[in-house]
Amino acid sequence: MKTTAIPVASVDVSGKEEAYAVEAIRSSWISSVGPFLDRFEQEFAELCGTKYALACSNGTTALHLSLLGLGLRPGDEVIVPSMTYIATANAVRYCGAEPVFVDIDPETWCISPEAIERAITPRTRGIIGVHLMGHPADMDAINEVAAINGLWVVEDAAEAHFAQYKGRPVGGLSTVATFSFFGNKIITCGEGGAVTLNDRQLYVRLKMLRGQGMDPRRRYYFPITGYNFRLTNVACGILCGQLERREEIFEKRRALFDYYTSSLKGVSGVDFQPVASWARTAPWMYSVTIDPQQFGTTRDELMDALKAEGIDSRPFFYPLHTLPPFLEAAARQRHSLAHSDHLSANGLMLPTYNHLTTTDMDRIVKVIRRSAVSQMGVRRAA
Ligand SMILES: Cc1ncc(COP(=O)(O)O)c(C=O)c1O
């Protein structure tokens, strides 16, 4: 029997998303002004517990915009985790500044506050705490180090929509936060992003920078050099449709997470994402780590076995200190990054999307169990 392919991610825009996008098009408000934009920014800010939200063209421009607004300049340093998506460090480079790579805490997979402390120099201006794989970073500890050293903090919440830290949603836990609404994210509009914050002065500056630097009171007068980082009213229509369904989306994804976890329990060498007692994670991509000694085969060999059965999966990101644009900087910085290396080598993202069925997951789990079992057979025979 021919089986269908299982992708690693897929979108679910089955509510009013399409109707709202069509409404935006028919209203002729298809650019970066319109009622869906206003509605999205207001609703998203409320959900993040912040005074303001600014929709941006993607999560990378949201980061870049935040760093520009915070006044990051050439020669400055920003502390970032090595274990993150490249956009986190690229945004620092776009400002001419240097990302300083530090390790993660293996108990959260997020930036280690102790490692941050060790990496501060007179050139350090701020910290980007990435909420990796839906798990919030330890923001109280990060904010404390920042306050002592006079630094700002950006939360990169691209992968962690509505995750909670000690009962509070991410997005309003530090100076400013950024989000991505790329197609594989929990809430999506294809390409999109947002910045959330409470500081009015910074909000006004970010809004101006987002819109080419134009003075809000004088059309075509540009007191500063700005950017076009705006998002369209059409995309915001899709986002408004997604926000209406957020509870349904979260429930579906949490059910997938629970099913995977109960099905994979007891498979030797498959370890689950750690969750800190104070964290409520966002169900982004279901992730495990493979211990090659226990499991009997490597993460990459398991990915090949899944691929052979038409099942797509993803390895974790390469740690940024091992990528060509950052090799030189990381060699100079010489921080210990062993946990990032380990997680990168062994982390695996399994298919996660709203219409993934239990039959699909049974198929995926069967391949994982079979890979482990066949290796056990090999070990016994040896
Ligand atoms: C941690 C992190 N930061 C930033 C981004 C960048 O977002 P975007 O792809 O929307 O530019 C991503 C992306 O997917 C991400 O995972």
- Say whether both 226 and 253 belong to one domain: no
Q: How far is the CA of 362 from the centre of ligand 1 (A)?
A: 30
Rounded Cα–Cα distance for residues 379 and 334 (Å)? 39
Contact criterion met (CB below 8 Å) for 252 and 357: no
Query: Distance between alpha carbon 207 and the CA centroid of its chain, in Å?
Result: 22
Spatial distance between the Cα atoms of 22 and 256, rounded to a whole number of angstroms: 31
Counting ligand 1 atoms within 8 A of each CB, the residue from 94, 104, 182 with the most, and so the one to mutate, is 182
Q: Of ligand 1's atoms, which has the minimum distance to the CA of residue 61?
A: 11
Q: Is 88 in the pocket of ligand 1 (CB under 6 A)?
A: yes
Please choose from 56, 83, 84, 85 the residue to mutate so as to test ligand 1's pocket, defined by most ligand atoms within 8 A of CB: 85
- The answer to whether residue 37 is domain-embedded is yes
Are residues 310 and 177 part of one domain? no
What phi, psi does 360 have (nearest 5°)? -60, -45
DSSP 3-state assignment of 133?
helix
* Containing structural domain, residue 260: 247-381
pLDDT of amino acid 3 = 79
Ligand 1 mean position, distance from CA 267 (Å):
31
193 lines ligand 1 (CB under 6 A): yes
Residue 5 lies in a domain: no
- Judgement on whether residues 209 and 103 belong to the same structural domain of the protein: yes
Domain assignment present for 8: no
CB 187 within 8 A of CB 40: no
Instruction: State which of 11, 56, 57, 60 you would mutate to test the pocket of ligand 1, scoring each by most atoms of that ligand within 8 A of its C-beta.
Output: 60
In a domain, 7, yes or no: no
Helix (H) or strand (E) holding 98: strand 98-102
Regarding whether 280 and 233 lie in a shared domain, the answer is no
Atom of ligand 1 nearest to the CA of 184: 14
Testing ligand 1's pocket by substitution, the residue of 156, 180, 343, 349 carrying the most ligand atoms inside 8 A of its CB is 180
Our answer on whether the CB atom of 241 is closer than 6 Å to any ligand 1 atom is no
Instruction: For residue 193, give the ligand 1 atom closest to its CA.
Output: 10
Q: Which atom of ligand 1 is nearest to the CA of 60?
A: 11
Same domain, 274 and 325: yes
Asked if 268 and 328 sit in the same domain, the reply is yes
In CATH, what number is assigned to the domain containing residue 296?
A: 3.90.1150.10
Both tokens of 331, joined, read 């060699």
pLDDT tens-place string over residues 293-329: 999 999 999 999 999 999 999 999 999 999 999 999 9
- Binding site membership of 129 for ligand 1 (Cβ less than 6 Å): no
Ligand 1 near 184 CB (within 6 A): no
Q: Cα–chain-centroid distance for residue 120? A: 24
Please say which residue of 244, 275, 306 terminates a domain: 244
Asked if residue 95 belongs to a domain, the reply is: yes
CATH number at 232 reads: 3.40.640.10
Q: Tell how far the Cα of 180 is from the centroid of ligand 1, in angstroms.
A: 6
The residues, any chain, with a CB within 8 Å of residue 375's CB and separated by 6 or more, are 295, 296, 297
pLDDT of residue 340: 98
Residue at 12 is within a domain: no
Task: Please count the structural domains in the chain.
Answer: 2
Where a domain ends, among 244, 270, 288? 244
Same domain, 196 and 76: yes
109 in the same domain as 42: yes
Q: Are residues 254 and 231 in the same domain?
A: no
Instruction: Please spell the DSSP secondary structure of 36-76, one letter per residue.
Output: HHHHHHHHHHHHHT-SEEEEESSHHHHHHHHHHHTT--TT-
For the chain, residues with pLDDT lower than 70 are: 1-2, 374-382
Does residue 1 fall inside a structural domain?
Answer: no
**Shared-domain flag, residues 277 and 304:** yes
Nearest atom (ligand 1) to Cα of 182: 10
Please check whether residues 213 and 229 belong to one and the same domain: yes
Token digits of residue 118: 């060790």
Residue 180 CB less than 6 A away from ligand 1 = yes
Asked if 139 and 276 sit in the same domain, the reply is: no
Q: Specify the residue with its C-alpha closest to ligand 1, atom 10.
A: 59
Q: Which atom of ligand 1 is nearest to the CA of 131?
A: 1
Residue 315 located in a structural domain: yes
Q: At which of 227, 244, 261 does a domain end?
A: 244
Question: pLDDT value at position 1?
Answer: 55
* Whole-angstrom distance, CA of residue 361 vs CA of residue 312: 12
